[in-house]
Chains A and B, each alone.
Chain A
Amino acid sequence: MKRIPYFPGCAMKDQARDYERAAQAALAALGCELVELPRWNCCGTVYSLANDDLMRHVGPVRNLIRVQDMGEDRVLTLCAMCYGTLRRSARFVAADPERLSRINAFMSDEHDYRGGVEVLHLLGLLRDVVGYENLASKVVRPLTGVRAAPYYGCTLVRPREVGVDNPDQPEVFERVLSALGAEVAEFPYKVECCGAYLTVGAPAIVAGRVRDIVASAAANGADLIVTSCPLCQFNLEARRPGIGPRLPVAYLGQLLAWALGADACLPPEAEALIQGTTPAAAGAQQR
């Protein structure tokens, strides 16, 4: 078993518990054990875009110190937003020793962060550590016939310097879904924002975004939307309009677990769809 330090973030212990459970089971099937950081704290969910907000980097850097204290130099996130904030903060302090020393001075109760922890997302891990071919060889329940739309959202691919892939034409999500045997539904909204945190104060704006994203996925043949962002997942389900196509939404880790024969913890709508579509599932049901 390969041990990989793991930062869960708030959603994995709350609304996205099923994503976490499924991803842990799936990665175990791939020979990776997730080791949760001791005493982790909130990543901040959104990265500060202001120059005088050094304080906002304290939370992320404290988590990087936990990784360092474990004697490790990388940390995995399942959540796209945690990936964005942690990876950007790691880069921000690594680029400027003065910022780093100010943050370290502020956290006198911690060991100094030395820089050098790499933040990985599940998609990057599957591509760079597991490998597409290796992943495909481990599939026992291929998602044959399932037309899945990979919805990246924002923080996985933007900004360019921290994105897991090209910001406009990424392919890692597609390659992973293909390796799992799914058919990929290419759709032009795959990297377009769902409205994110506007969902709190301006849910109508988010509803408009979600309507366009779901309609585009459906028009391009998808029968399922896949995401790794718990905020996208919430918006896609809670803010979708009452009319128009209602595509089930599943987390990346859930499809991964299903294909690898692990406990997938799929939402009922997505599970029914996969059960009804894939020949492996149909065969298993007949037996």
Chain B
Amino acid sequence: MADGLRLSREALAAPFVGKVEELSGQNLSACYQCGKCAAGCLFTEHMDALPNQVLRRVQLGDESVLAASAPWACASCLACAVRCPKGVDVARVMEALRLLALRRGLPHLDPRATAGVPQIALVGAYRKLTP
């Protein structure tokens, strides 16, 4: 992001944008960057891009967003989803990004990090953070 984003017709119509829209079922162009999702998100201090910035990068076809930390800090609490004035379920966009990364083989949950947690946590973590 340091060099800024290059806008182009090709980027906006990139298969990546379509894939995220398809997986999430969300109309990404509805987002007008009000930032309400980021304002209410409890996990932004662990994100290198705010939820609205993640959404913007997807809108612009910036596939490098798959390497952002935001989808992995998201706990699917849906605070953003119930507060978005445009009805965009940002949590579903985060889920789509997690799945795209996981399906490309990026491992994100260390299987050793499972000691001492109850099964309700294990099932949840494995469902969200493994392919």
A interface with B by C-beta (< 8 Å) = 9-11, 14-15, 42, 44-46, 48-52, 56, 79, 81, 154, 158-160, 167-168, 191-193, 195-202, 205, 208-209, 230-231, 234, 238
* Nearest chain B residue, comparing its CB with the CB of A208: B45
Judge if B118 is at the interface, Cβ distance under 8 Å: yes
| Of the residues A49, A159, A195, A230, contact of B120 by C-beta under 8 Å | A230
- A231 in contact with B124 (CB, 8 Å): yes
What does the 1/0 interface line of B85-101 toward A look like (CB < 8 Å)?
00001011011100100
Chain A residues whose C-beta falls within 8 Å of the C-beta of B56 in the assembled complex: none
Chain B residues whose C-beta falls within 8 Å of the C-beta of A160 in the assembled complex: 82
Chain A residues whose C-beta falls within 8 Å of the C-beta of B73 in the assembled complex: 198, 202, 205
- B125 in contact with A201 (CB, 8 Å): yes
- B77 in contact with A158 (CB, 8 Å): yes
Judge if B27 is at the interface, Cβ distance under 8 Å: no
* Nearest chain B residue, comparing its CB with the CB of A12: B120
Judge if B127 is at the interface, Cβ distance under 8 Å: yes
Given contacts A49-B89, A197-B128, A201-B113, contact A11 B75 (CB under 8 A): no
- A44 in contact with B123 (CB, 8 Å): yes
Min CB distance B71 to A, Å, is 11
* Size category, B interface: 35 or more
* A257–B33 CA distance with the chains assembled, in angstroms: 48
Task: Tell me the dominant secondary structure on chain B's binding face.
Answer: helix
Given contacts A201-B113, A205-B73, contact A193 B119 (CB under 8 A): no
* Nearest chain B residue, comparing its CB with the CB of A193: B77
Most chain A CB neighbours (cut-off 10 Å) among B77, B96, B108, B110: B77
Chain A residues whose C-beta falls within 8 Å of the C-beta of B15 in the assembled complex: none
Min CB distance B22 to A, Å, is 6
- B124 in contact with A168 (CB, 8 Å): no
| Of the residues B42, B78, B118, contact of A159 by C-beta under 8 Å | B78
Judge if B23 is at the interface, Cβ distance under 8 Å: yes
What does the 1/0 interface line of B105-119 toward A look like (CB < 8 Å)?
000111001101111
* A231–B119 CA distance with the chains assembled, in angstroms: 9
Min CB distance A84 to B, Å, is 9
* A56–B121 CA distance with the chains assembled, in angstroms: 17
Most chain B CB neighbours (cut-off 10 Å) among A158, A192, A193, A200: A200
Judge if B53 is at the interface, Cβ distance under 8 Å: no
Chain A residues whose C-beta falls within 8 Å of the C-beta of B110 in the assembled complex: 201
Chain A residues whose C-beta falls within 8 Å of the C-beta of B113 in the assembled complex: 200-201
* Nearest chain B residue, comparing its CB with the CB of A44: B127
Judge if B46 is at the interface, Cβ distance under 8 Å: yes
- A158 in contact with B82 (CB, 8 Å): yes
Chain B residues whose C-beta falls within 8 Å of the C-beta of A199 in the assembled complex: 117, 121, 125
* A80–B131 CA distance with the chains assembled, in angstroms: 25
A15-B118, A200-B113 are known contacts; what are 9 more A-B pairs with Cβ within 8 Å?
A: A11-B119, A46-B76, A49-B24, A50-B92, A50-B96, A154-B79, A192-B42, A201-B113, A238-B117
